[in-house]
Amino acid sequence: MMQGIASQVNKKIEFAGELYRQAKHPIALTGAGISTPSGIPDFRSEGTGLWAKNEAMDAASLSVFRYDPSRFYNWFRPLANQIIRAVPNAAHIALADLENSGYLDAIITQNIDILHQKAGSKNLIEMHGSLRTLSCTQCYQQIEAAPYLKPFVEEGTIPHCPSCDAILKPDVILFGEQLPQKAWLKAQNAARNCDLILVIGSSLEVLPVAGLPMQTLDRGGHLIIINQTPTYLDVRADIVFSQDVAELLPELTNRVLNHG
């Protein structure tokens, strides 16, 4: 249970739990804010986000990777180190509990950190790819990333293809790169066919993913937002929470799973 929780927030959680239990096809949309309690920096918080500390919108672009992959890898190395060391927090585990109990149809995630999988979630739609695999830039062979990430993080060894020795690219979406079409179609289908979407740790600033909750709302579905900064859809949401997601989501999950 959350310690010292305000009665007003407690009532909102109770209402959100009731709304959630009434849903027949709930889904979740997660952003960087669900992983910051696990030590993964977000991308836009002023002064602390990766974009504030580095010229990431340049270094993490597809054009830079093509012409100067070492520049991308130099920027990416500290983040890769944080990702491979990170463990799921209580919010990731709460979502996995909802899914495994039959209370969550799918998770659409903007994150590449694999923490949902580590927590036990299975029905994931990864909009920006993930660090599970690498792909060869020449022969297009896809390879499990784990054996290459440790020497890269520890020694700075840029991964090369075991077949043709070309540079391997992490299967994550860089600036200037198209979203994976299959994932995008699945995400749209999930948003259009659910009756409740739970937005967690996303500022809803990055299109086209930020528009997915509108597809739910336009079809009469409900919206619950858990995010520490305002979003453009706060005015349309049934409930908005600004509390720490790693504290609030387990409490909401408890209300859903243990009601009555």
Give the residue numbers annotated as catalytic, written as ranges.
Answer: 128
> What string of DSSP letters covers 124-139?
EEETTEEEEEEEETTT
Pairing of strands 196-200, 222-226: parallel
Which residue, chain included where needed, has tokens 């179609």? Answer: 185
Do 167 and 160 contact (CB within 8 A), yes or no?
yes
Lookup: tokens for 58? 């340049």
Do 199 and 224 contact (CB within 8 A), yes or no?
yes
SS3 219: coil
All residues at 6 or more sequence positions from 180 whose CB lies less than 8 Å from its CB, including other chains:
126, 127, 129, 173
From the CB of residue 250, how many other CB atoms can be counted at a distance below 10 Å? 19
Do 174 and 62 contact (CB within 8 A), yes or no?
yes
SS3 195: coil
Distance CA 97, CA 196 (A): 17
Q: Which of 21, 20, 43, 37 is nearest to 173 (CA)?
A: 43
